[in-house]
Amino acid sequence: MNSPLLIERVADTTSHRDRDELNRSIVRLLQQFLDARFVALYSVVDHAHVKRVACRAGLTHEQRELPADPLDDFKTLPELSARPAWHECVTRGDLVQMTYPDGHCRCVFPLEGEREITGMLEVATAAPLQPRDASLVRGILRILKNQLSLLDYGERDTLTGLLNRKTFETRFDKISQARRSNGAAEHVPTWLGLLDIDHFKSINDSHGHLFGDEVLLLVSQIMGRTVRGSDQLFRFGGEEFVIVLEAATPAGARAAFERVREAIASHTFPQIGRVTISLGYTEVRPQDVPATCIERADAALYYAKRGGRNDTRNYEALVAAGELVGEDKTGEVELF
């Protein structure tokens, strides 16, 4: 690939505003540029103090796309130590090239986050990369890092670092599309939880907005430590947060949301002491749009508030028990 064409392809790649499409575009660019047997982008995830590797995008010389690994069961992902080149790349934070007995070479580049190595680029080539090619790949990966930082800036809440409400609507559309195309009956359900910090106005009034912001930040951090790495967290606005659990049984969803509530309730907040949340959740349906799903979760949340707060309630269970009236033809939800 000549230099003008390479620059043109890089420019096309950086036009993407979708993270998954950006990853696929980078992989396509590098596969063509290096004429590689395959190129794959991985993320490095830490689960139960074990680093594992998840493929995010990949492409072979025959233009066959490698599927992204699902993140709903970390135990199915290979450990970082499974391949010496992976482990050495992340440990050293530098390019590792290994030549195998059949003559082909594996080149693994680190993907740097703000504080640590967050992923890898692996390239299978017929021979070790020349210094010029390796330098160009590093440059393209820096462009990828910068582009992802820009996406993060637009997608995340400035106080908590969680995904913001605008991003929630985009992500929700992807989830709904996947449910419609795959068939909900054949897959473990996806759940949406809406939580609200109890008596948050009183916290602001009694201690000031500085302490209120600290509570928001600590709640977001507790949630991040409590849910799975594949679960998605959003600051929905004010003291409201959204949690999306993918691939969870009804019992698993109940347990996950309860862990969040209990973790927050058991935490001692500086100067404030005990803070609790109320949480309502619902199953995401294939035909859902964000508003209808949030409406159901909000009805369950309101029920938890009315019952004394510091509680977790499921919309479908409340409807089945006759505690809530289900949706009518207009999609409205009413309490008895």
Q: Which residue has the tokens 């080539």?
A: 125
pLDDT at position 230 over 90: no
CA 218, 300, 228 angle in degrees (round to 5)?
Answer: 45
Q: Which CATH architecture has domain 3-155?
A: 2-Layer Sandwich (3.30)
CA distance 292 to 327: 9
Non-local CB neighbours of 189 within 8 Å, separated by 6+ positions: 247, 248, 249, 250, 253, 283, 284
Determine the pLDDT at residue 17. Answer: 67
CB neighbourhood size of 238 (10 A): 12
Tens digits of per-residue pLDDT, 113-171?
A: 767 888 999 999 988 899 999 998 998 888 877 777 776 677 888 899 899 998 898 88
Supply 262's token pair: 């209990």
Q: What is the DSSP string of 269-311?
A: ETTTEE--EEEEEEEPPTT--HHHHHHHHHHHHHHHHHTTSS-
Tell me the HSE value of 206 on the side-chain side, using a 13 A CA sphere: 8
For the CA atoms of 14, 18, 23, 24, the dihedral, rounded to the nearest 10 degrees, stands at: -100
| Residue 63 identity | Q
Q: Which CATH fold topology does 165-335 show? A: Alpha-Beta Plaits (3.30.70)
Least confident range from 16-25, 238-247, 267-276, 277-286: namely 16-25
Determine the pLDDT at residue 329. Answer: 41
Domain range annotation of the chain:
3-155, 165-335
CA distance 315 to 321: 10
Of residues 155, 239, 283, 295, which has the active-site annotation?
239
Q: Are 41 and 27 spatial neighbours (Cβ–Cβ below 8 Å)?
A: yes
The secondary structure of residue 8, as a DSSP letter, is H
Q: Which residue has the tokens 């594996």?
A: 106
Mean pLDDT of the chain: 87
**Of the candidates 175, 157, 169, 171, the residue with the CA atom closest to the CA atom of residue 223:** 157
Average pLDDT of the segment spanning 291-300: 96
CA distance 173 to 290: 8
Distances in whole angstroms, Cα of residue 112 to Cα of each of 122, 123, 165: 14, 17, 27
pLDDT at position 253 over 70: yes
Strand arrangement of the beta sheet that strand 232-237 belongs to: 232-237, 240-245, 191-197, 277-283, 312-314
* Residue 114 a catalytic site member: no
Q: Are 124 and 37 spatial neighbours (Cβ–Cβ below 8 Å)?
A: yes
2: confidence class by pLDDT, cuts 50, 70, 90:
low
Tens digits of per-residue pLDDT, 34-50?
A: 899 999 999 998 766 78
pLDDT at position 234 over 90: yes
Q: What is the DSSP string of 38-86?
A: EEEEEEEEEETTEEEEEEEEEEETT-PEEPPPPSS-GGGSPBGGGSHHH
CA distance 126 to 37: 8
CA distance 313 to 84: 47
Q: What is the DSSP string of 305-325?
A: HHTTSS-EEEHHHHHHTTSEE
